[in-house]
A and B are shown apart, each in its own frame.
Chain A
Amino acid sequence: MSHNATALAQGLTRCHNCGHLSKQTRRPRQCPVCGSHLHARMPHSVQRTTALLLSSYALYIPANIFPIMTVTQLGVTEQHTILGGIIALIDKDMMPIAILVLVASILVPLLKLLGLSLLLLNVHYRWQSNARLWTRMYRVIVFVGRWSMLDIFMISILVAVVDLGGISQVIAGPASTAFAAVVVLTMFAAKSFDPRLIWDNQLE
């Protein structure tokens, strides 16, 4: 496949909203079909992704250190971190649910952070192999991102349901804000990464 087989090399830009192909012009212009601003590649894709990713790394630390919820039951108050909640589930012999929460709230955010970092390194150092595999990894990262919200939604339901005054109560902890921010920022980071940059660097 020759290198000028891309739309960019042929002077064409695909609208990222409606998919219409337009000729490139000297000046930035709008899509004739839907009116979106046209960009051959997402503007400042690498810078934006890097910035969002660094913020997520920073917030990932408080998200795991501080308690994500405080459970009061019959006067006894317990504080759970994300990891602590999973250990509590294992102690109660609820392995499948423990694995589910482990995947959604620890493995997925971690793999997303590492995966996006690798994608940025790939683009920066112009790694030459397996562009198809890297693109597939990008797709997985985009797909799994939202599932990390599981823990936040679970806390929201517990807060709504377990509200019996002194008998039993669940209160969200400071880590929940940090964790929610990690999920949202990594979703934005994945969205601002342009996978076409991987293919632009392939020398054929």
Chain B
Amino acid sequence: MARSYDTHPDNYRLEPDYSIMPNRKFNACPECDLLLNQAVPEIGEKALCPRCGYLLYRPRKQSIERTFALSIAGLIIIFPANLLPLIGIRLLGNSHDGTLWSGVAGLFNEGMWAVAALVFMSSILFPLTNIMLSLLISAHLYFNKPNRRLGSWMRWLQHLDEWAMLEVYALGIIVACVKLASTADLKLGFGLYAFVALLLITAMLASSLDSYLFWQRIARLRRHES
């Protein structure tokens, strides 16, 4: 059924038929493997794969500086967003507040440890590690400090990016508020404002991080080191 390309011996017998040296002049589309000349778009332009339409590269303005600044801001705002109450309810004279953390603890206490772990990772742990990794990488690139772990930090950042789901959590808060508004008095906590700020910062962080530029700078630092 499946054809595993990297184990099939035929694939290694192919000789390159013209003088392609694996260098920065060439690029391959990650989704259709078309061999392309490395496009160098200006800021504001983007390079698309001519065959499948994949967004190959969109350079960002002041990518390293902005990533550095935004990750510091994110690291500050993530604490109030996690620790202060997001929303609270008042019902028949009783009131109760909920934080990001108390939702995880509540699920855990009900025996739903798998769901609790998933919510913890996607709303607290991975956003935090993403911000920390962006801070570490951009700080090293900003101050031109080589570090042999830069590559693996960048890999982790790219893989964890998908699992930090703050924007989905924000939508969950909206749906929960609508559900609660019909039965109880809602009050919005300060943590909610911090959460919205964190959401904006992480969205800006994701769009300011130019991974092509970052990998190039990491490779250059590595060459200088050796």
B-contacting residues of A (Cβ < 8 Å)? 1, 4-12, 14, 16-26, 28, 33-36, 39-41, 43-47, 73, 89, 92, 94, 97, 100-101, 104, 123-124, 131-132, 135-136, 138-139, 146-147, 149-165, 167-168, 171-172, 176-177, 180-181, 184, 187, 191, 195-200
Q: Would you give 9 A-B contacts (Cβ < 8 Å), ordered by A?
A: A20-B215, A21-B23, A21-B26, A25-B12, A34-B218, A35-B151, A41-B5, A146-B162, A157-B173
Residues of chain B within 8 A (CB-CB) of A18 are: 151, 154-155, 215, 218-219
Interface of B is mostly: mixed
Q: Of residues A1, A34, A200, which shows the largest number of chain B Cβ atoms within 10 Å of its Cβ?
A: A34
**Interface size range of chain B in the complex:** 35 or more
Measured in the bound complex, the distance between the Cα atoms of B156 and A36 in whole Å is 11
Interface flags, B68-90, vs A, CB<8A=1, else 0: 00000000000000000011110
Contact of B16 among A23, A46, A47, A162 (CB under 8 A): A23
Residue B52 is within 8 A (CB to CB) of chain A in the complex: yes
**Known interface pairs A8-B11, A161-B176; A132-B51 also in contact (CB < 8 Å):** yes
Cβ B28 vs Cβ A14 within 8 A: yes
Closest to B222 in A: A33
Cβ B151 vs Cβ A146 within 8 A: no
Cβ A150 vs Cβ B14 within 8 A: no
Cβ B52 vs Cβ A199 within 8 A: yes
Residue B142 is within 8 A (CB to CB) of chain A in the complex: no
Residues of chain A within 8 A (CB-CB) of B52 are: 131-132, 135, 195, 199
**Known interface pairs A14-B30, A21-B26, A195-B31; A180-B96 also in contact (CB < 8 Å):** no
- Give 11 A-B pairs besides A8-B5, A164-B91 with Cβ atoms closer than 8 angstroms: A11-B15, A11-B20, A12-B26, A41-B6, A135-B54, A150-B172, A153-B172, A156-B115, A168-B184, A171-B110, A177-B114
